Structure 1
Amino acid sequence: MTTTANVTALSDRFRETFGAAPDGVWQAPGRVNLIGEHTDYNEGFVLPFAIDRTARVALRVRNDSTVRMLSTFGGHGMVEADLEGLEPGSGDGWSRYPLGVAWALQERGITVPGFDLLLDSDVPLGAGLSSSHAIECAVISALNELTGADFGAEDLVLATQQAENIFVGAPTGIMDQSASLRGAKGHAVFLDCRDQHVELVPFDAEASDLVLLVIDTKVSHSHADGGYASRRASCELGAEILGVKALRDVGVERLEEASGLLDETTLKRVRHVVTENDRVLQTVEVLGAQGPASIGPLLDASHVSMRDDFEISCPELDLAVDTAKANGSIGARMTGGGFGGSAIALTPVGLEQQVRDAVVRSFAEAGFTAPDIFTVTPAAGALRLS
């Protein structure tokens, strides 16, 4: 959580590192996806929210094309690059994300000057909470302002997607950056990924005597690996065989027909996306009519679908979900791209400690790395801090 002291400390360290004050400090949050996994690049529906954990960047523009970047993460030294001739694949580690959004702005005709940047973040890395998009959204918010590009949220979403897809090489959709750029305190972001239409849906777990626990399994994942790409390829194949632009256009009623047209693996991938889209719509409806306490079965069904049909879970995620539910959570699912990362568990306040203790105990008994467990609440999207 960002405080005035955090901002002051970051500005002071920037001044010590680069010899002058930053032009400003910007932040962008990570996100939790309440429901709607792998539906975004299928032009479907998602329901994430920005969380109260953020990436913060102090940034100052230079009068040349040099970029100097440093993070507060241990073990990382200064990274230097030149924006002239910047090409996809440049950079290494976290530096790819600031460079990627600078490149994406250049691709849109914006003259991006060199800059000095200091990054600080409390979004857990590799936990499925979109730490990379938090960095991108903080940096692009700063550069959008300092270059005078003045792009709206929709254009910034597409620019960060281009940075991810082409520069970084991760075939992600638009969910993560949409939540980070367009989130609002106390609300989830109901996003139509076909046209970027957004509706803010109230999600106040506290008012229902609930907490949303994040269980970081410590199993790291990467969207730039083959597992994610192969799932996307299966979805595109399924859409092609079914004769639609995207799986968004396939209703649940067509799954029986699809079973006679698709091979077993492609059918499973398609079935997850089609039923997950339906679950997002149901969740939005239930939240509006009955509130958070009634969405548990939809969260549970989402996890089963990701585990069995999309096959992106792992033993640690399954154990976290099963243990949370067995000890009082009203609904639980893995969240994020899969193959590791985090699970979420919607839990009565009075049972929070019981769930925490049980999950830690079950991981120890299984010989897994101890998980990190914390609560999140819907927070504001990207903004300037100073």
Structure 2
Amino acid sequence: MHLKTLRTHRLLWLCCAPNGYRTRYPDCSRTCTDSSCATGKYQFFILLICLDIIPITGSSSVSPGEGSEMFCNRLLHRDFSTSVNNIQINKTKPQWHNYFLCGLKGIQEHFGLNNPTGMNCLLDGTIPPSSGLSSSSALVCCAGLVTLRANGKTLSKVELAEICTKSERYIGTEGGGMDQSISFLAEEGTAKLIEFNPLRATDVRLPSGAAFVIANSCVEMNKAATSHYNIRVMECRLATKLLSKSKGLDWKKMLRLHDVQTKLGVSLEEMLTIVEEVLHPEPYSTEEICKCLGISLEELHSQILSQNIQDVSTFKLYQRAKHVYSEAARVLEFQKICSKAPANALQLLGELMNQSHISCREMYECSCPELDRLVDICLQFGAIGSRLTGAGWGGCTVSMVPTDKLSMFLKNVKKSYYQTDGQRLAGENNSLFATKPGRGALVFVEA
């Protein structure tokens, strides 16, 4: 497999991927038969919206068993080639092509392809990398879709989302599936409420009168290269087990905080009360967790803790559980407001966004000083609501801005955040922009 990259231009390669492919492969007898894209996303809590900026893959098939190439259309990334029969994904240094390999491997293993079709691929896109807009998940989804097409297989969007969620874990990221789900299930002009078991998406029509602005803090965050993200996943899992044990549930089978609520049959507000009663705000040591669960330290490390956080000795369970349940309550309230559309809907939604960022900063601790400053600047210059989006610890904010204030808002944020720093100023054009809900993954077939 061969992967190549060039420079990016917003949406340009949606039309030009096939021609770019021919430029990269002038001696190749095969034409670029397909161009596929999968969108990035931003989120209002767990209401997700696909961006109208995308990664594109132009591809053609080669004979089964042949080597395959990936070419990335960006100067900052190196080209890559490997055999489709010997996929090796490096978890220690998660480079861009490893995400493509995740999607490829997921399809390969799902169908049991012993001799998969090789591919020549040209990749491009407009999602800033490591910016909290799910560029990595979009690339995994794009790769899964391309591999599916090259091997003559078909799957539903739901099936593709589930496979790509599982396959991204090959690189060491313990994601839950939101990013991959919206990449496939998104529809133009609407946000989506994503729910699982079974996976489903519900339209949430946003009120008129506001624009949604993405602002990049210019602090990069690669989920697979750091432990923050996976530690939060494990803290939520440990909180799940302690809450389950306290209520007499089969805690060994419980993995998600949502599972506890479902088993108990209580509301989110009641779960927040249970969190207050059962968990304490002080960090839990591994020894205390073992005592609460009645297991040995060896059992904790071998049966519960993931491999990449074996050295972590303390966990904040109260804060993480409180954030998750309160955030879920905000999601449902957001959906309710959008459905009823009261006269002050924008103000109510903005306040929920602001509460969400405070919780992300103080309870989930996934913000950073640059994100906090950017949120403050956005609110100062007219945003009704503003919060970080994505995994956090860097990346982007999303702000809801009255449409009649959009032009002045963009001007003031540029001046106050980007033009005060040379590095931020260099990427200003791709760091601050208004966007709208876009559609999910597509395949464009050359006639």
TM-score normalised by structure 2 residue count: 0.78
Aligned 1:128-277 pairs, distance under 5 A: 128-165=132-169, 167-203=170-206, 208-224=208-224, 225-243=226-244, 245=254, 246-248=256-258, 249-250=260-261, 251-264=268-281, 265-277=316-328
1:311 paired to 2:365: yes
- More displaced 10-residue stretch of structure 1: 83-92 or 172-181: 83-92
Aligned residue in 2 for 1:113: 117
- Deviation per residue, 1:292-336 (Å, 9 max, x gap): 624111111110100110011111111111121122111111110
> Structure 1 unaligned runs (5+)?
36-45
Aligned residue in 2 for 1:15: 22
1:361 paired to 2:415: yes
Amino acid at match of 2:174: P
Amino acid at match of 1:85: N
Aligned residue in 2 for 1:41: none
- More displaced 10-residue stretch of structure 1: 65-74 or 309-318: 65-74
> Structure 2 unaligned runs (5+)?
1-8, 245-250, 262-267, 282-315
Amino acid at match of 1:81: T
Greater Rg over alpha carbons, structure: 2
- The 3 A distance-change label for structure 1 pair 297 and 23 is same
Q: Is the 8 A contact 1:50 1:179 kept in 2?
A: yes
2:35 corresponds, among 4, 25, 28, to: 25
Distance 1:122 1:70 in 2: 16
Amino acid at match of 1:384: V
Distance 1:350 1:82 in 2: 54
Moved over 6 A (4+): none
Distance 2:62 2:147 in 1: 12
1:62 paired to 2:31: no
Aligned residue in 1 for 2:390: 336
Amino acid at match of 1:316: E
Q: Is the 8 A contact 1:55 1:119 kept in 2?
A: yes
State the 1:2 CA deviation. 7.1
Q: Percent identity?
A: 24
Equivalent position SS for 2:111: coil
Aligned residue in 1 for 2:101: 99
Q: Is the 8 A contact 2:158 2:185 kept in 1?
A: no
State the 1:142 CA deviation. 2.1
Distance 1:10 1:180 in 2: 20
The structure, 1 or 2, with the larger RCO (C-alpha pairs under 8 Å, 6+ apart) is 1
The Cα RMSD (Å) is 2.1
Equivalent position SS for 1:128: coil
Count of aligned pairs between the two proteins: 371
